[in-house]
Structure 1
Amino acid sequence: MPTLPLSANISILFTELPYLDRPAAARAVGFEYVESWWPFPGPIASAEQVNALIGALERAHVELSGLNFFAGDMPSGDRGIACRPDRQDELGSNTEQLVEIARRTGCRSFNLLYGQLDDRWSDAEQRDTAIRAVRTAATVLAEIDGIVLLEPLALGLNGAYPLVDGDDVVELLEGPLRSAPNVRLLFDLFHLGSNGVDLVAAAERLAPWIGHVQVADCPGRGEPGSGDLPIEETVATLVAAGYRGVIAAEYQPTGPTEQSLDWVDRLDVIDQSG
């Protein structure tokens, strides 16, 4: 059976350490890849901030396998700005810097959160705005062979976020985004499982559209094995259905991160040789 690379999301793992120390911590326990939410407070970081991030990755000898677009003020509850008519200039500027980081790191997968619906605009206007934003980002990233990821999020935890299962994303991919082949589904087991999705069935059915996979258990969003989700079976189904991308650990450890990794050995499709 093929083996898949494993990535650590350093925005949510190793949080017992300062952010720039986390790539080295990930490498010390065997991760060769890391991913991250947008790590800066605004859509544009200073050259010093970008250099510090890239320097931390290089010193740790890890590759950046995924990065989020700027998603607004996430600690205050924002979940993306793609659908917001008043924030498209921010997104455009952020995309330019994202490409700069991509060129310097080799990262080619980028999560663009749709955003929460706002009653200042109609749902249709916000959908059209989001579709234009995704198309624009996809066109820019196509120049570097990058992909845009669209992620469903858990109901009740993320405000009026309209993408709640894989079918919501596939409807866009087969409809208004059909002309953008480098837009894919981000299959996050925690978010989908929280929404009652049959993960094993969805993994088999949606595999052709999946560009990235993230794992965390439910309830609680802890490490695999801390909840009730069929994570091992779902990952095995993804591989059997043809998925060959990264499996990303994006969970909130129930203890120190290093002590939360026993689950890795139970996924025999994971390549963790480092």
Structure 2
Amino acid sequence: MLFGDVPLLRRPQAARDAGFDAVEFWWPFASAVPTDTEVRAFVRAVEDAGVHLAALNLAGGDMTAGERGLASHPDRRNIFRDNADIAFGIAEQLKVEALNTLYGNRIPDVSAAAQDEMATENLSYVARMAERIGAVILIEPLSGVDAYPLRTAAQAVSVIDRVGAPAMRLLADLYHLSVNGDDIPAVIAAFGDRIGHVQIADDPGRAEPGTGTINFDGLFSRLFARGYRGHVSLEYRPTASDPFGWLPRERRGGSPWDQSAARSNS
């Protein structure tokens, strides 16, 4: 989102040049099952830039058409598994800590129960893969897509509980939670020990902090108090000529809690 005008394989270096030492990516390929050549080029771009790939999305389907994940689609089970094999191959090479697995939209001609059963099976599958490499699977509530069934933190946590795998965590995107009406301080109080990753954008507008009404410093303090020490990813649509002008350069690297440093979503 932050380097949309930069060719994808140059984005890790662009993040490094902007002062970040870690990045995350949505699924970085046009296909759920890219070629070995494409995968090697992506891994090399991250390694050459000297940044850490902290989080990676599994394939989300046709995101531009509104799709949000494959996990719950019964007719895409094989594609989901093939995609997971590639994603975890990347994760093992680059020591990725978290893989975001979007749940999948409701399909009109398939019962919710059948979709939930498929999602449970698929999430159990990737959770076992995550355990083997010391990573976690993230489950994310989303806004903006009516067919996506996970809107609140509690709904996402209910999926985590249903699967019952120790490697599963809540992805707390503070923008999505705010848009969907979640009480974010209450979410942190209730689920702070189950949050595996944090993303930020201001609400309204999904732009950089300071353009909306979210009190990020207050929420970061609550997260810290609940024991969160993971990354904070910048996932917004910048409105200023300098997309990071609000964030001093010295706060962009190192430990995310030493100086409230953040991570860039490339």
Whether the TM-score (by the shorter chain) exceeds 0.5 is yes
Return the offset for 1:201: 2.3
SS in 2 for 1:187: strand
Give the aligned residue type for 1:129. M
Return the offset for 1:125: 0.8
Hey, what does 2:166 align to over in structure 1? 181
Residues 1:39 and 2:24 are matched in the alignment: no
Gaps of 5+ in 1: 1-11
Q: Mapping of 1:139-178 within 5 angstroms? A: 139-154=128-143, 157-174=144-161, 176-178=162-164
Return the offset for 1:116: 0.5
Q: Which one of 235, 238, 251 corresponds to residue 250 of structure 1? A: 235
Q: Which one of 176, 192, 204 corresponds to residue 207 of structure 1? A: 192
Residues 1:270 and 2:266 are matched in the alignment: no
SS in 2 for 1:82: coil
Deviations 1:217-241 (CA, angstroms, capped at 9, x unpaired): 1111101111111222111110111
Q: Which one of 55, 58, 79 corresponds to residue 66 of structure 1? A: 55
Hey, what does 1:138 align to over in structure 2? 127
Return the offset for 1:263: 3.7
Return the offset for 1:16: 2.1
Give the aligned residue type for 1:92. R
Hey, what does 1:8 align to over in structure 2? none
Whole-Å Cα distance in 2 between the matches of residues 65 and 201 of structure 1?
Answer: 26
Hey, what does 2:93 align to over in structure 1? 104
Whole-Å Cα distance in 2 between the matches of residues 263 and 236 of structure 1?
Answer: 17
Residues 1:232 and 2:217 are matched in the alignment: yes
After superposition, the Cα gap between the structure-2 partners of 1:84 and 1:192, relative to the gap in structure 1 and judged at 3 Å, is same
Deviations 1:165-214 (CA, angstroms, capped at 9, x unpaired): 1101122223x222x00011000001000011121221222101111000
Deviations 1:120-157 (CA, angstroms, capped at 9, x unpaired): 11111111111111011101221111211000001xx1
SS in 2 for 1:270: coil
Q: In angstroms, what is the RMSD of aligned CA positions?
A: 1.7
Return the offset for 1:260: 3.1
Hey, what does 1:7 align to over in structure 2? none
Q: Mapping of 1:114-129 within 5 angstroms? A: 114-129=103-118
- Alpha-carbon contact 1:165-1:195 (below 8 Å) kept: yes
Identity %: 38
- Alpha-carbon contact 2:140-2:150 (below 8 Å) kept: yes
Between the two proteins, the alignment pairs up a number of residues equal to 256
Whole-Å Cα distance in 1 between the matches of residues 177 and 192 of structure 2?
Answer: 14
- Alpha-carbon contact 2:208-2:243 (below 8 Å) kept: no
Whole-Å Cα distance in 2 between the matches of residues 93 and 87 of structure 1?
Answer: 10
Whole-Å Cα distance in 1 between the matches of residues 39 and 226 of structure 2?
Answer: 37
Whole-Å Cα distance in 2 between the matches of residues 153 and 22 of structure 1?
Answer: 25
Give the aligned residue type for 2:246. D
TM-score (norm 2): 0.92
Whole-Å Cα distance in 1 between the matches of residues 41 and 75 of structure 2?
Answer: 30
Gaps of 5+ in 2: none
TM-score (norm 1): 0.89
Return the offset for 1:261: 3.7
Hey, what does 1:3 align to over in structure 2? none
Return the offset for 1:268: 7.0
Give the aligned residue type for 2:54. S
SS in 1 for 2:107: coil
